[in-house]
Structure 1
Amino acid sequence: MIKPGKQQVFAVDNPDTFNQTALQVFNYQAANCEVYGRFVSGLKINPADITSAEQIPFMPVEFFKSHRVVASGDVDEVVFTSSGTTGVITSRHHVTDVSWYEESFRKAFDLFYGDIKEYTVLALLPSYLEREGSSLIYMARDLISQSANPDSGFYLYNHDELYQKLQQQKATNKPTILIGVTFALLDFVDTYQIDFPELIVMETGGMKGRRKEMIREELHSALCAGFGVNAIHSEYGMTELLSQAYSKGEGIFYCPPWMKIITRDTNDPFTLTDTGKTGGINIIDLANINSCSFIATQDLGKVYADGSFEVIGRFDNSDIRGCNLLIA
């Protein structure tokens, strides 16, 4: 099976080219990813009978906890690992060509926010910095480097230093984005208040048991008040994928053209739900070419007619995930 290249995947710009590329990726991964191929075979599905992206079987995300999910014979360049509470088995995403990840998040950022070089990027990601293998830290580090701005950087628990930097950015009127794990952003505004309407605050989810869970409206209201902004942006991604969706407010996410969300019936994983109805979130991530691009997550959500979606919770008994775990 022919493996689509970056030029094809990242050039997807309409439903027809998405469907065609998704089918090519499916056939390639069904033949070359042993774990996914066995999953498809176990369902008694003949890949030749699949004619649309909606018919493609979605592999449970839990497989990344017990298997090396790869569709490439190359050695790993990096292994991303999920965060988890003590005693919880974490996922491992074996990435044999990290340039796919870099191109995916760089192109997506440019699509949603414009040239990274125009921004100061501040990252408040303590729990991620304190462990190995975080794909979010990899992305944030690259964006900080790409910003080419000496004011960009990471913050751990040095909130006073971050507050001073935000005041400085406000005074010099520099476009600034603050990427933060949810509990750390809340910890910050518990102590510091700033009126910085131009600031982009992007929460990445994750309370990690550090604070009580909050509904999205309550959380975003607290952060809006603390930072003096009108809306809170969000990033939706996960260790097992190489693409992210973004929300610029109200918890409504949009995917880059090479990513798509489809929802499934909560009782029958092989039946898809209608637009606007709550279901389990299935993700197609064409950038995840050397692994599995068709993942059934444990998140619950709704997809709308324009392709946007919202995350409204988790299936019962799901272990806590780092990105993005807001309950609306």
Structure 2
Amino acid sequence: MDSDYVISCCSTADLTAGHFEKNSIAYICFHYELDGKEYTDDLGQSVPFSEFYEAMKNGAETKTSQVNAEEFEYYFEGFLKEGKDILHVCLSSGLSGVINSANIAKEILEEKYPERKIYVVDSLGASSGYGLIMDKLSELRDSGLGIDEVHEWVEQHKLEMHHWFFSTDLSFYVKGGRISKTSGFVGGMLGICPLLNMDHEGHLIPRSKIRGKNKVIHAIVDCMQQHAVGGLGYAEKCYISQADSYEDASKVASLVEARFPHLRGHVEINHVGTTIGSHTGPGTVALFFWGDIRNE
């Protein structure tokens, strides 16, 4: 069975460089600006996450840019020259147009390397939920599945990855125009924490407004109980991403581990990376798990 292929993603899968290396997952980096200076979204290696979020809290302007077609062409061709096929999974098309750039590169290179396979997949996911999909694909590859089988699997199962988010800081939602200044002011005064999830088209959708951090921490775990495969018998991995909110993320992780005793290992807490964090700001906690099919 052919297993000589590369599993690849964008840096917006928000796992550590060590995790990607250990699991032989290749990645290509987005870009961002901090007060006009451009950086590579390299998983916190150039600018530590603590410095990045501190700069945002101090008013730094952020701007992000996706990987362009020329970058993808150069990146993909390195693997093709080694005689390897490619399965690249992109950040959700509901959040970014990066898949278009990947597909342009794919079309160019398929003419140049007609004997090689290049699959480009829309993850319909983001941050460490997208990362948890990649983790699963690396396990399938290591179990001996070929690129066609792994590609078929991800297309069939990617909507079973659930993404639930909450934020305790509305200021960046106001700054980004997602809520009005009035709503942000009132919400801040009342301690409102919006709870969002990702729909079947890969868009982030507000689901409820919950008053108080403690309540929203419990509510997000209730969502996992409602949707996780096997309910309280959930026996897969669970990841959390946090943006300068490690204490809140730890509370969610403790509740998850207490409520789901059959979890596969401990809950893994990662950072919300600089690309996604540029839009959410600090104060965001996201919970990811395998569950029922996202159909709305």
TM-score, normalised to structure 2, is 0.33
Specify which structure has the higher proportion of helix: 2
- Taking CA–CA contacts closer than 8 Å with sequence separation of 6 or more, which of the two structures ends up with the larger relative contact order? 2
TM-score, normalised to structure 1, is 0.30
